[in-house]
Chain A
Amino acid sequence: MQYSKKVLEHFANPHNVGFIENADGLGQVGNPVCGDVMKITIKVRDDRIEDIKFQTLGCGAAVATSSMVTDLAKGRTLDEAMKISRDDVANELEGLPPAKMHCSNLAADALREAIADYRRKQAAK
């Protein structure tokens, strides 16, 4: 199995690692039994993702996709960010090994969860 240079770069030096206290939205996907858990927190201002951080338990691809999705989402409007797909993340990383496409490419799902969480909270206000 081979990882692209880009995956290894993001794995070695992931961007936006951490947890935003008092986040506007939180999304978590995965399950420790499967070996992958991703948690994304976002700060929203004027309908844009002002800040985003992730925490991930998982393999090289899981960490790299988390890092990439935070890069792609930062500064985007919520509608734009909702459209970021698993394939977009994989493409930006110059591809993922086939075995990793499904099991470790959950970062886009975690982002959508975080945005949905934010929107639920807004609706409740």
Chain B
Amino acid sequence: MEAKDFIYMDHAATTPTDKRVVDAMLPYFSENFGNPATLYHIGMEADRATEAARVTVASAINAAPEEIFFTSGGTESDNWAIKGAAYALEKKGRHIVASAIEHHAVLETVEFMKKVGWDTTVVPVSKEGYVDPDAVAKALRSDTVVVSIMHANNEIGSIQPIMEIAKIAREKGVLFHTDAVQTVGKVPVDVKALGVDMLSASAHKFYGPKGVGFMYLRKGTRTTPFMHGGGQERNKRAGTHNVPGIIGMAKALELAPESFKDAQRLHDLAEMLWEGLSKAIPDIRRNSPSHDVLPGFLNIVIEGVEGEAMLLRLDSKGVGVSSGSACTTGSLEPSHVLLAIGLPAEVAHGSIRFTLGRENTEEHVKHVIGEFPGIVQILRQMSPTYRKDCRKQGGIG
């Protein structure tokens, strides 16, 4: 199948790099390839472009340029936010708070800190997938040094009440980090309005290149350097700058308002997809909330069918999606997010996540609505656990 015919509906995993982003990056590979730390013209040009990119990135989230630190992406930023705060504030206390639905980049970092002697509290979420600010307030202790709650969840798309939670942390004098990998570049993000001390973002989630991201570190926020070395990024993150990546990320953020304008269309497409699938497939459940949710997000579970099997068959029909089944999480456990919102494991294995983006059209959604019920029917007929006697499959010939 030609790439152009493939209907890609996994934008929460990654996005195609915008052609205009690629064009902006190209001169910084073989022409202006200089190291920004050097003092001849191509080095200085790379430095100028990197600093201009910093200004663009900063203004995109209402920060100051000196509050932006370039990293290799979301995972590095998440690691740095938590470890950096924990080590810098070790004398104040050794307690970390995070939610149960954080990305593994946060949860595994918190788990690591636990192994090396920190105390941790994981706050549960509601059935709809929201963190309760009161639950965070209750988790705070006199020795809490950092709270990390994601801006929007990557599996079900629920947007968290960050403003409220950050306020609670600030009032207690506790550093607050938000993993905004799913929101920056997709919906407007304003660090001052949110009131966060640290924020992580990743370029490839908003039509930028892979391998680059940033961390917002509010002026005066205490942290330790994450990478030690040559003194780049004001001694906080050593390593030669990924100049083409940084230029590409800035360009992608410059273009991000196009995505903001597209949000309502994506919400409507996700709604149309749900309407179509829920009419044609019995025993289907929606895991994504219908309000305070990222545009184009639809996570569902189909009873009696395993997620990877659905994913592979959708692929053969030219549709790319993801699943939270154990088979696709690379462990024996299904998605921790689906378990956290109260789904039993046997149900969570049957999850499918559609995340729509710019290139998706109504025709794409109609194609999925046309193909998916038949896939479910085939797999249910093959399934030893689905009660086929209960209901007749509707809507398919």
Contacts and interface: CB of A to CB of B under 8 A. Distances in A.
Residue from the set A34, A36, A62 with the largest chain B CB neighbour count within 10 Å: A34
Nearest to A38: B384
Residue from the set B306, B346, B349, B386 with the largest chain A CB neighbour count within 10 Å: B306
Interface residues of B, number: 25
Contact of B384 (A35, A56, A59, A100): A56
A39 interface: yes
Contact of A35 (B306, B313, B330, B382): B306
Contacts of A59: 306-309, 312, 325, 327
Contact of B326 (A34, A38, A55): A34
B304 A57 contact: yes
B325 A32 contact: no
A28 B385 CA distance: 11
A66 to B, nearest CB: 9
Contacts of B385: 32, 37, 57
Interface in B348-397: 349, 381-386
B280 interface: no
A104 B345 CA distance: 16
B383 A11 contact: no
Contact of A11 (B312, B327, B330, B332): B312
Question: For chain A, what secondary structure do more than half of its interface residues adopt (helix, strand, loop), or is it mixed?
Answer: mixed
A55 B380 CA distance: 9
B328 to A, nearest CB: 8
Contacts of B327: 35, 58-61, 99-100, 103-104
Contacts of A17: 381-382
A60 B382 CA distance: 12
Contacts of B330: 99
B309 A63 contact: yes
Contact of A33 (B307, B313, B346, B381): B346
Interface string A1-43: 0000000100110100100000000001000111111110000
A35 B349 contact: yes
Contacts of A63: 309, 382
A100 B306 CA distance: 14
Interface string B297-333: 0000000111111001100100000000111001010
B332 A55 contact: no
Contacts of B316: 12
Nearest to A28: B384
Nearest to B380: A57
Given A11-B312, A35-B326, A57-B386, 18 more contacts: A8-B312, A12-B313, A32-B385, A34-B332, A35-B306, A35-B325, A38-B384, A55-B382, A56-B383, A59-B307, A59-B308, A59-B312, A59-B325, A60-B327, A62-B309, A63-B382, A100-B327, A103-B332
12 contacts: A8-B312, A12-B316, A32-B346, A35-B326, A35-B334, A57-B383, A57-B384, A58-B309, A59-B309, A61-B327, A62-B306, A103-B326
Interface of B: 304-309, 312-313, 316, 325-327, 330, 332, 334, 344-346, 349, 381-386
Interface of A: 8, 11-12, 14, 17, 28, 32-39, 55-63, 99-100, 103-104
Complex A-B, nearest 7 residue pairs according to Cβ-Cβ distance, in ascending order = A35-B349, A32-B346, A59-B308, A59-B327, A55-B384, A39-B384, A57-B383
